[in-house]
Structure 1
Amino acid sequence: MRVLQPPGWPRPRGYANGIAARGELVVVAGMIGWDTEGVIRSPDIADQVRQTLRNIVAVLAEAGAEPTHIVRMTWYVTDVDAYVRAYREIGVAFREIIGDFRAAMTAVEVSRLVEPDAKVEIEVTAVIPDPPQAGAAEQE
């Protein structure tokens, strides 16, 4: 994976302007903060983000992918002000569950999500890198 940073542009905080990657594409549908029983346990946006990120990691694992393979995330939030107020808690959850890396990210406010109690929905694209090709000397 290669971060795309045009010369002279300021470095973004917490995301990348773009990512280039080769390998197996993994697309994760919009995940929300419900648990394995399909229940949203908390009305708090930071709590919902934490559970949403856990759900994303679980789906990635089904493909043999890890959080470091994420190249793009789109966040849909129902209240951008609440999202901004929760930056610190969201950042802690992100680092604990996803790690400290950069993906191309977009966050947009929407009037509502399909699940009425959901305050955040996150879509993810990941790329599992192609395995390194063995050199001619290794093949002999």
Structure 2
Amino acid sequence: MGHRIIHPEGWAPAKGYANGVLCADGTLYVGGQIGWTAEQVFEAQDFIGQMRQALQNIRAVVEAAGGTPEDLVRLTWYVTDKAEYLAHQGEVGRAYRDVMGRHFPAMTMVVVKELVEDAARVEIEATAVIAQ
């Protein structure tokens, strides 16, 4: 088959999607992660809290595939409130570094009207390349 599904231990089942797909060449595709916990509960309602959780979720998928945050090569962010993001850029940077360190892959940010989960304020998808 050439690839395997990555699902961090203890996470609630993903229904109709995969949290991660690891290809034989070491490329890991991480599906869009939102600011809910492994139990699919939103503990944070604010942008920074949800962003931090989404990044922690990405990190968990990468680590479940045998990688580290330094293996990330791309992040695509979908945010529902541009003004909220811009008003908190300093906090965004601190929260990002807390979770990912000082590794900054190629990034894109897109402002969207809404996300599938009504409570979600941000969704982030990622690509990593993990040495095999």
Q: CA–CA distance in 2 between the matches of 1:115 and 1:56?
A: 17
Q: After superposition, what is the alpha-carbon deviation per residue over 1:48-79, rounded to whole angstroms, capped at 9, x for unaligned?
A: 00111111111111110110000000000000
Using the TM superposition, give the Cα deviation of residue 93 of structure 1 relative to its aligned residue in structure 2, in angstroms. Answer: 1.1
Q: After superposition, what is the alpha-carbon deviation per residue over 1:91-120, rounded to whole angstroms, capped at 9, x for unaligned?
A: 111111101022110001000000000000
Flag as ranges the 4+ runs of structure 1 deviating above 6 A.
none
The AA in structure 1 aligned to 2:89 is: Y
Using the TM superposition, give the Cα deviation of residue 129 of structure 1 relative to its aligned residue in structure 2, in angstroms. Answer: 3.1
Using the TM superposition, give the Cα deviation of residue 42 of structure 1 relative to its aligned residue in structure 2, in angstroms. Answer: 1.8
Equivalences for residues 21-60 of structure 1 within 5 A: 24-60=26-62
Q: CA–CA distance in 2 between the matches of 1:112 and 1:97?
A: 25
Structure possessing the higher radius of gyration over alpha carbons = 1
Q: Give yes or no for the alignment of 1:111 onto 2:113.
A: yes
Gaps of 5+ in 2: 1-24
Equivalences for residues 15-94 of structure 1 within 5 A: 24-94=26-96
> Who is 2:4 aligned against?
none
> Could you state the TM-score of these two structures normalised by the residue count of structure 2?
0.78
CA RMSD, aligned part only? 1.1
> Could you state the TM-score of these two structures normalised by the residue count of structure 1?
0.74
Gaps of 5+ in 1: 1-22, 131-140
> Who is 1:101 aligned against?
103
Using the TM superposition, give the Cα deviation of residue 47 of structure 1 relative to its aligned residue in structure 2, in angstroms. Answer: 0.5
| Residues matched between the structures, number | 108
Q: How high is the sequence identity, in percent, across the aligned residues?
A: 46
Q: CA–CA distance in 1 between the matches of 2:110 and 2:81?
A: 9
The AA in structure 1 aligned to 2:91 is: E
> Who is 1:5 aligned against?
none
DSSP 3-state at the match of 1:49: helix
Using the TM superposition, give the Cα deviation of residue 43 of structure 1 relative to its aligned residue in structure 2, in angstroms. Answer: 1.6
Question: Is the contact made by 2:78 and 2:112 (CA closer than 8 Å) also made in structure 1?
Answer: yes
